[in-house]
Structure 1
């Protein structure tokens, strides 16, 4: 199968660690040139150095919530690589409380990071994506489809991300720009690994994963590579007729399609 990443350029936010980093490495291995974006320089530089063993990669240290950050990121990608074909809006955080426990500034910060940053990045990338067609991928969460108690404001931001994805796909299809989303469930992360080492250091990762699976039908926590596999596919030419959809990466635990 030909993913046709050769000569393509991708920007991936939140790509110093986790799913963003793994996605960047997969795309580079398939021939893409990737600009990594994150706030922490040490982790970002390390990721770029490691991924560069497989191909062409650059990075920019940038908080995407800052003024004009999106324009700076896109300009850096185009200056370095000459074009832009793929945008992965991955930057985010996990912040969840009950409605009465959340202050208004927390709402504003969460929406700014998870919704408005995707809007600003997509707007900045649009002139370049229109040149050759391309793909925008928004990372959201399974709970965005079925919000639970004590899940605010993150589930509201993630639900907005789903609506944004669908609406953008309708507007940008005429430029051959595909817009999709993935809804992340329980996936291995630095936070989960710390919990594992603190709570059950005597267990192997596989044992801890199975023990912590809870209501996940596949019976384990997902791996970052499994999430990156889906993202890499959706942004590739193999998914050339897929747009406006949101794919669950959750081991079957979600309660919505």
Structure 2
């Protein structure tokens, strides 16, 4: 299947590691020009070098902190200045922060919302006018399965992610007339640096496959997901293959969510 990504330009926040990095690599392999942004310059340049070594193509690394509106604006404008346009935005930046309600202070609430919600708002706000010039575009906001059914001790992440889902639906309705599609992927348990540290610290006697099955025993598919599986869904959603898909939420959680 031709995904229609050749010559498209994408900006991925949180693109130096994990799902963001693998999504960048996948989009490059599909012919897109890609900019990645993150706060850590060393991690960014390492990611860019790795992609070039594997594909022979360069990505644009942009140092940016998406909790700051000015950095969001600069990331979009640097992308457009370098590539001439922007067609795709993947709002991936975020970390896990799950605590009981009475252990979350005001500063943590503000930081989490700035990172996961306002980061997506600001990047989208500055990208949309350029997408209109291209007569269309695609935005994917990364949220989480817990956003649909927040549980105990899931704050502030579950609230930020739930807001991200509402943002996705509202944006899709406002921007549909401009042929700008907006979707969200609800991430479950996916292999990450944090999970790998837990594996090495808690069960170094197990192989990754054994650890994945042990931790994922209550997941219908019986294992932890991998970043490529998440990147594949994101790549589909921003591609021409998903040209009639907008305003939807796709679970990437091995079936663990209790709702559709």
TM-score range, shorter chain: over 0.9
1:21-60 per-residue CA deviation (whole Å, 9 max, x = no partner) reads: 0000000001000001001111110100111231231111
- Counterpart pick for 1:212 among 215, 237, 243: 215
1:128-155 per-residue CA deviation (whole Å, 9 max, x = no partner) reads: 1112201000000000000000001110
SS of residue paired to 1:63: coil
- Counterpart pick for 1:169 among 156, 168, 172: 172
Question: Superposition pairs for residues 240-251 of structure 1, below 5 Å?
Answer: 240-251=243-254
Cross-structure match for 2:181 = 178
| Contact 1:11-1:87 within 8 A present in 2 as well | yes
Question: Superposition pairs for residues 1-257 of structure 1, below 5 Å?
Answer: 1-53=1-53, 54=55, 55-132=57-134, 133-257=136-260
| Contact 1:41-1:61 within 8 A present in 2 as well | yes
| Stretch of structure 1 that moved more, 237-246 or 97-106 | 97-106
TM-score using structure 1 length = 0.98
SS of residue paired to 1:87: strand
| Contact 1:32-1:56 within 8 A present in 2 as well | no
| Contact 2:69-2:122 within 8 A present in 1 as well | no
SS of residue paired to 1:178: strand
User: Matches of 2:69 and 2:114 in 1, distance apart?
Assistant: 11
User: Matches of 1:38 and 1:247 in 2, distance apart?
Assistant: 25
Q: Which runs of 5+ in 1 are unaligned?
A: none
User: Matches of 2:66 and 2:104 in 1, distance apart?
Assistant: 23
SS of residue paired to 1:52: helix
CA-based RMSD of the aligned residues comes to: 0.8
- The structure-2 alpha-carbon separation of the partners of 1:150 and 1:197, relative to structure 1 and needing over 3 Å to count, comes to same
User: Matches of 1:252 and 1:196 in 2, distance apart?
Assistant: 22
| Contact 1:48-1:57 within 8 A present in 2 as well | yes
SS of residue paired to 2:127: helix
1:112-133 per-residue CA deviation (whole Å, 9 max, x = no partner) reads: 1110110000000011111220
| Stretch of structure 1 that moved more, 74-83 or 195-204 | 195-204
| Contact 2:68-2:119 within 8 A present in 1 as well | no
User: Matches of 2:69 and 2:23 in 1, distance apart?
Assistant: 26
Q: Which runs of 5+ in 2 are unaligned?
A: none
- The structure-2 alpha-carbon separation of the partners of 1:108 and 1:190, relative to structure 1 and needing over 3 Å to count, comes to same
User: Matches of 1:104 and 1:171 in 2, distance apart?
Assistant: 31
- Number of residue pairs the alignment of both structures matches: 257
Shift of 1:67: 4.0
1:78-123 per-residue CA deviation (whole Å, 9 max, x = no partner) reads: 1110000000000001111111111111111111111011000000
